[in-house]
Amino acid sequence: MSTIQLALEVEPENIKEAMKQWRVLSDHISEVEATVSDHVAKVKELKKYIQSALSIAEGELKSETLSIPGVGTAYKKSVIAAQVNDWEMWQKYLTRHSMSTVLRHQNNIAPLQDLHEMIMKGELPMPQSIEFTTYDKLSIRRI
């Protein structure tokens, strides 16, 4: 039985044994993390490559979906983020324009996207209390 397995399975009888087991396990964790960090860096590099290879057509919110059987699917979509500078003014703006659904603190960003679209089309005035940012988000799923 390896020292790592012993450290996992045997309960220490005193503080010295506990410290020895801690050292064995923490050294093992450091070794594994060093190996994994190379893999994590490569995965990030591959994601950047995949994201740059996918393109979103003009006027669309989502790219084509690339699907490889036994591997996974990948697509890129345009996401709108908002940074509120003055929360009170932002609340008043939304109430004034009947867009109170945007005020809800939820993961659903559809109301914010609708509001952004209305502002970009000129249907609503541009608020001064918020800044919109759009970015591309890559989604990769294993299949």
Per-residue pLDDT of 130-143, as tens digits, reads 888 888 999 999 98
Q: Which two tokens stand for residue 57?
A: 């057509």
User: How large is the average pLDDT for residues 10-24?
Assistant: 89
The mean pLDDT value for 49-57 works out to 92
Give the whole-angstrom CA distance, residue 71 versus residue 69: 5
Name the residue ranges covered by the structural domains of the chain: 3-53, 66-142
**pLDDT-derived band at 114, boundaries 50, 70, 90:** confident
pLDDT at residue 74, as a whole number? 95
pLDDT at 71: 93
Mean pLDDT, residues 27-48: 91
| pTM (global) more than 0.75 | no
Q: Reading across the β-sheet that carries 66-68, which strands appear in turn?
A: 66-68, 72-84, 130-142
Quick check: helix, strand or coil at residue 139? strand
- Centre a 10 Å sphere on the Cβ of residue 36 and count the other Cβ atoms it contains: 10
CB 72 within 8 A of CB 143: yes
